[in-house]
Amino acid sequence: MDKAMAGIINVTGYAGIECARLLSSHPQVTLATVTGRSAAGHRLADVFPHLADSNLTIEEKLGEVDIVLVAMPHKESAREVLSLIEKGIKVVDLSADFRLKDETEYNEWYGVSHPAPQLLSQAVYGLTELYRNEIAGAQLVANPGCYPTGAILAMAPAVKQGLIKEYIVVDSKSGVSGAGRSLNIKTHYAEANEDTTAYALEGHRHLPEIIQELGLLQPDKKMRITFVPHLVPMTRGILSTCYAPLAGKITAQELKQIYSDFYSEEPFVKVTDTPPHTKHTRGSNLCLIHPTVDGRTGMMVVISCIDNLIKGAAGQAVQNMNLMLGLPETAGLEAVSVYP
Ligand SMILES: NC(=O)c1ccc[n+]([C@@H]2O[C@H](COP(=O)([O-])OP(=O)(O)OC[C@H]3O[C@@H](n4cnc5c(N)ncnc54)[C@H](OP(=O)(O)O)[C@@H]3O)[C@@H](O)[C@H]2O)c1
């Protein structure tokens, strides 16, 4: 069988170039064409020497493809996606443009009018573990945000089983690559190194995404969620510690069994006996989850861990792409984490 042809729009950002790295060794998909505004006309291997074997040139416009991974900033992404969808091409969009189902909510949180609201109803939210069947039949998949991936996977079993009251606190720590490759004073070495800070206390844009998806798992309840992200001095990784008051009595062992059963068939989600480290997922598509109970306070505590650029972006995009192309879900994603 011929290999499927994939393209990447915006290979010059961290999410885009990580898609290129994963596709460069994909057994059943050829990376056929890539675009990137600031490096158009240059060889991909010259701009990103870790892809030294690539023969591709970074183009201004995409060539012929079966599927495209779009890794543009929000708003710009929707314009590209609209044009691809109109041509009948399958798309995984890594931006936030098609994650929220409510156009008004998007406009409020992102401060712009949605450039392609007519596509919102057909976009499938790309958290593979929750929407596998819908993703397989979709033309447009909205790849989840990095923080929401860790938070939703951490809380989905408990919310779905009605184990907790309607209040959750998500405390997340992210590496600096989560802010992208574009220059930003907050991510300068001298600012971020040896520093840790909370940000977006007034409400981070990933909050409505977490509320939307956990809410869909318990439509009769109105989830109240406090989400506080932190920037920590590492390149990759997100560690989320989620707290929620339990609705009834349950032991840590029983909770762990519920989580293990919920994710028993999942190739990329593992329930752990001890709290995971960000180094345990670095470079892999894994999400590690450690659920436990604080018996003194009746609080459930769940810690999840992902690589923001893999399960939180490019890896999940490839996982979704595989499903959309009818390929094994794990194809091209078998690499184990880089440790230490
Ligand atoms: N970083 C993560 O962990 C992560 C995780 C999940 C999802 N995402 C999403 O993935 C997308 C890309 O994120 P990223 O982290 O890769 O960002 P990034 O590293 O900052 O890359 C963004 C790139 O977009 C290009 N760009 C900016 N404005 C543009 C415009 N108006 N028109 C065309 N190109 C433009 C620039 O490339 P040029 O310099 O070549 O112009 C810039 O380098 C975003 O939507 C982001 O939300 C990122």
User: How many angstroms does the Cα of residue 150 sit away from the middle of ligand 1?
Assistant: 20
Q: How many CB atoms lie within 10 A of CB 248?
A: 9
What domains does the chain contain, in order, with CATH numbers? 4-144+311-324 (3.40.50.720), 147-308 (3.30.360.10)
**To which H or E segment does residue 333 belong?**
none
Q: Could you read off the pLDDT of 77-125 as tens digits, one per residue? A: 999 999 999 999 999 999 999 999 999 999 999 999 999 999 999 999 9
What is the total residue count of the chain?
340
**Which residues does 35 contact at the CB level (< 8 Å), separation at least 6?**
7, 8, 9, 10, 11, 58, 59, 60, 61, 62
pLDDT bin (cut points 50, 70, 90) of residue 1 is: low
**Which residues does 38 contact at the CB level (< 8 Å), separation at least 6?**
12
- Single out the catalytic residue among 146, 242, 287, 305: 146
Average pLDDT over residues 264-270: 98
User: How many angstroms does the Cα of residue 94 sit away from the middle of ligand 1?
Assistant: 9
Q: How many CB atoms lie within 10 A of CB 21?
A: 18
Mutate which of 62, 72, 310 to test ligand 1's pocket (most atoms within 8 Å of Cβ)? 72
Report which of 91, 86, 79 is spatially closest to residue 115, judged by C-alpha positions: 79
Residue 230: strand, helix, or coil: strand
Average pLDDT over residues 310-315: 98
User: How many angstroms does the Cα of residue 295 sit away from the middle of ligand 1?
Assistant: 43
134-169 residues labelled b (16+ CB within 10 A) or e (exposed): ebbebbbbbbbbbbbbbbbbbbbbbbebebbbbebb
Query: Which amino acid belongs to residue 186?
Result: K
pLDDT bin (cut points 50, 70, 90) of residue 62 is: very high
**To which H or E segment does residue 199 belong?**
none
* pLDDT computed for residue 166 by the predictor: 85
Average pLDDT over residues 176-201: 95
Check if 19 is active-site.
Answer: no
- The C-alpha torsion from 9 through 12 and 18 to 24, rounded to 10°, is 70
